[in-house]
Amino acid sequence: MDRDLMHELAWQITGLPVPAQQDEADFAAALHRVETFLAEYRHVPDPKAGDAYEARLGSWLDAERAADEHGALSQKRRERIQQVVGPEWRAAG
C-alpha cells in the first residue's frame, strides 16, 4: 500500500491525519542525540523523566516504536535504531 493511500485511509477511519515521517536529516539528528545521551547517561531516555531533554528523547523513541508497531517504520530506520540503542529500544519507555 503506498503512503498516500495509507494516509487517506487512516484519515477516513479515524478522522485524524497520519503524522508525516521525519526526513532523513531530522531522523539522523534525533538518533544522534539519543546516541549521545546513551553514551553520557548509560540508559535509554525515559519519556516520563523529570528532565525535559531526556523526556523529549524518550518520547521520540516511543513515537518510533509506535510507528514500527503499526508497520510505518522502514526496516532501515528500525535497524539504525537497534544499532544505536540495542534490542531494548523495543521495550516500552
List pLDDT tens digits, range 2-58: 656 665 666 667 665 555 566 888 899 999 999 999 999 999 999 999 999 999 999
Query: Does residue 85 have a pLDDT over 80?
Result: yes
Residues whose CB is less than 8 angstroms from the CB of residue 72 and which lie 6 or more positions away in sequence, other chains included: 6, 18, 21
Total-model pTM = 0.74
H or E element in which residue 54 lies: helix 52-69
Q: Residue 60, Cβ neighbours under 10 Å: how many?
A: 19
